[in-house]
Amino acid sequence: MALALASPPLNFPASYYSSAGNCCTTAVSATNIKTTSRRLSLTRKLVAKASEKDDETPSFNPFGFVTDNPSSRSAIQLPEVPAEDGNVGQMLYRIEDKGKDYGSYIKSGGFRWFVRETGSSDTRLGPRGTVVFLHGAPTQSYSYRVVMSQMADAGFHCFAPDWIGFGFSDKPQAGYGFDYTEKEYHEQLDKLLDVLDIKSPFSLVVQGFLVGSYGLTWALKNPSRISKLVILNTPLTASSPIPGLFQQLRVPLLGEFTCQNAIMAERFIEAGSAYVLKVEKADVYRLPYLRSSGPGFALLEAAKRANFKGTSSQIADGFATGRWDTPILVAWGISDKYLSQSIAEEFQKGNPSAVTLKLIEGAGHMPQEDW
């Protein structure tokens, strides 16, 4: 057990005693100094003894999950030379224009949505149909950028909005026109599809927790609008676990603290995958949470109002045999640390005639980002 013990100096410089702010140190008695010295000596002996017993055991670093990770190291600005350290303003300047590939702002329902679009509806280009991509929490539509580009090349017209409260879309304060409920998300999605003039039926791609699940419950309410449904890793059964992040967000005070973690999104992605995000990608997922407190509080409100288990049960029942017959492709990253392969298999067994399951080796919770 390799431990580092930093002993406070007992011989203070003269300037230390002359400082008005530290004048209280002159009251330290010789007896206290001797007692402190004996305690330090005993502590050193205990540490040395522990080190002899277990020299090969790595020391525990409570911040290792951050500092051992290249993308997170960049987030908290830990350069090799401390004098080169930057501040939040400098970091924002460096990454401010990143991550808006194929995107523009669209006004709908009184809110400003950020929507990515690739391909064209021009019939002269031989479109193969429209595809709408919906992301989960706590991420954004940026995760679909590569897939959207490839789909456009294949002749599809693609849209991927950032849900209200996420990514680059508006993040209204709860109680002022939007309360982050499932019903409101459904209503605002209806309005956005109308503004984008997306004709039915279209193909829908959904991935992720919370708002990702709301994409599936929206589909259950609008089956005639869906021609094909593609589900990437999303809670699909009543037994689907709830990640620790969302559990923490629902705990008073802890939730308020957790939601303001600027590296929350990138860490959530990496914790659910076998891969570490490259710094330039992590920058984009971090940016909304770094720019203001709004995205964190939006996520907090959405998590507090969500019925995770109830929504998962609704999805499992709604897509079962006899209740849904539109083709469903479940493309599942089997290295997902949040949702196991058995969840996808259980869902497929619930409606084998409509659901096709494709397992993606190596991909984790966000196959569209991993592959």
- Once rounded to an integer, what is the mean pLDDT over residues 13-30? 42
> Per-residue confidence at 340, pLDDT binned at 50, 70, 90?
very high
**Pairing mode, strands 111-118 and 157-161:** antiparallel
Output the pLDDT for position 35. Answer: 55
| pLDDT > 70: percent of the chain | 73
| pLDDT-based confidence at residue 41 (cuts at 50, 70, 90) | low
Q: Is 39 inside any structural domain?
A: no
pLDDT tens per residue across span 146-189 = 999 999 999 999 999 999 999 999 999 998 999 999 999 999 99
Give the percent of the chain with pLDDT over 90: 66
Residues 20/26/27/29 CA torsion (nearest 10 deg): 160
Mean pLDDT of 83-105: 69
Indicate which CATH number applies to the domain containing 261.
3.40.50.1820
Residues facing residue 328 across a β-bridge:
229, 355
The label of the residue with tokens 């206290």 reads 32
d(CA 245, CA 49): 39
Domain that holds residue 325: 95-360
Is residue 70 assigned to a domain? Answer: no
Higher-pLDDT residue of 171 and 84 is 171
Q: Is residue 62 part of a domain?
A: no
Confidence of residue 64 (pLDDT cuts 50, 70, 90): very low
Q: Where are the beta strands (DSSP E) in the chain?
A: 103-108, 111-118, 130-134, 157-161, 202-206, 226-231, 328-333, 355-360
pLDDT band at 48 (very low <50, low <70, confident <90, very high): low
The pLDDT-based confidence of 20 (bands split at 50, 70, 90) is very low
pLDDT, position 148: 97
User: If you average pLDDT over every residue of the chain, what do you get?
Assistant: 82
As a whole number, mean pLDDT of residues 188-210 equals: 96
Q: What is the pLDDT of residue 173?
A: 93
Quick one: average pLDDT of 60-86?
Answer: 45
Task: Summarize pLDDT for 255-312 with one digit per residue, the tens.
Answer: 999 999 989 999 999 999 989 999 899 999 999 998 889 999 999 999 999 999 999 9
Give me the pLDDT at residue 80, please: 47
With respect to residue 266, please indicate whether it lies within any of the assigned structural domains.
Answer: yes
DSSP structure string for 119-155: S---GGG----EEEEE--BT--GGGGHHHHHHHHHTT
Mean pLDDT across 44-64: 45
The answer to whether residues 308 and 246 touch, using CB atoms and an 8 Å cutoff, is yes
For position 40, what pLDDT does the model report? 53
| pLDDT number for residue 90 | 58
For residue 346, tell me if it sits in a domain.
Answer: yes
51 pLDDT more than 90: no
The answer to whether residue 17 is domain-embedded is no
| Number of domains present in the structure of the chain | 1
Q: Is residue 12 part of a domain?
A: no
Q: Is residue 36, in this structure, part of any structural domain at all?
A: no
Residue 107 has pLDDT above 60, yes or no: yes
